[in-house]
Amino acid sequence: MLSYKGYTGHLDIDTEEQTLFGRVLDLKDVITFQGKTIAEAKQAFQDSINDYLEFCEELGESPDKPFSGKFHFRTSPEIHRKITIAAQKKGKSINSWMEETLKKAAEEVI
């Protein structure tokens, strides 16, 4: 994984072309990059982020922001109580329990 200005890039290898290529994760917009070496791919990743931010500025649009990993969750007091009890029974914090439970549910759908 690569990280730059809050954006994360995932790197893969194309064995036929003998290149490294990647995509910026967590965005609706598609940003890709490539290079022959790790250093080239890393620089291309950073250049792609900079180009994307400049392009958005030229258009007067806000760039798509990476997911922060935080979201607010509201529920009824009764569900809150049940979540708390379920987490305690598993020996986990509410956050850890919810992350595990929501991840499983999301993976079933995706």
pLDDT score for 1: 87
Assess if residue 65 is contained within a domain: no
For 27: left if phi > 0, alpha if psi spans -120 to 50, otherwise beta; the answer is beta
Assess if residue 68 is contained within a domain: no
Same domain, 86 and 46: no
Assess if residue 72 is contained within a domain: no
Domain holding 97, by residue range, is 77-109
10-residue mean pLDDT profile of the chain (110 residues): values are 91 93 88 95 96 94 80 90 94 92 92
Overall residue count recorded for the chain in this entry: 110
pTM of structure: 0.61
Q: What is the DSSP letter of 68?
A: -
Assess if residue 105 is contained within a domain: yes
CA distances from 12 to 6, 38, 46, 81 (A): 20, 11, 16, 44
Same domain, 11 and 45: yes
Is the separation of the CB atoms in 63 and 52 below 8 Å?
yes
Is the separation of the CB atoms in 12 and 6 below 8 Å?
no
Same domain, 14 and 49: yes
pLDDT score for 70: 75
Assess if residue 17 is contained within a domain: yes
Assess if residue 95 is contained within a domain: yes
Same domain, 47 and 93: no
Token output for 2: 């690569």
Same domain, 55 and 9: yes
Same domain, 45 and 13: yes
Residues 6+ apart with CB under 8 A from 30: 23, 24
Q: How many domains does the chain have?
A: 2
